[in-house]
Amino acid sequence: MSFCRHPLLIALSIWAFAHILPNGDLAHVLLFTVFAGFAVLGQKIIDRRKQRQMGAAAWTELWLQTRKAQITVSAGSVVRFVAALLLYLLLIGFHPLLFGVSPLP
């Protein structure tokens, strides 16, 4: 059972919304708004298509399972969390070298 149906699109929307304010010029606002819109609308489009393919009853069951999903702590989830945290810290650390701007104040 999954905690969310579209984790990559959720991550893309968080990333895009987080980059709109710090990059406040018009070009960046347009770019990141398009990314965020793609991520948010993409979830709705995928859900609508899957509902049509699966049928109303099967889709409702899947939707309810996702809504009732509990976050459980297991060895695999701890490893994934630690790996994600390390990747995040690496991205924060290498952000000035890769992109020329530090995300930290």
What pLDDT is attached to residue 69? 67
* pLDDT in single tens digits along all 105 residues of the chain: 456 788 899 999 999 998 988 887 899 999 999 999 999 999 999 999 999 999 999 988 888 888 776 677 788 888 988 999 999 999 999 999 998 988 887
Give Cα separations from 55 to 47, 51, 61, 67, 97 (angstroms).
Answer: 12, 6, 10, 18, 49
Q: Which of 66, 6, 67, 63 lies closest to 39, judged by CA? A: 6
Give the total residue count for the chain: 105
Query: Do 12 and 34 form a contact (C-beta atoms < 8 A)?
Result: no
* pTM for this entry: 0.72
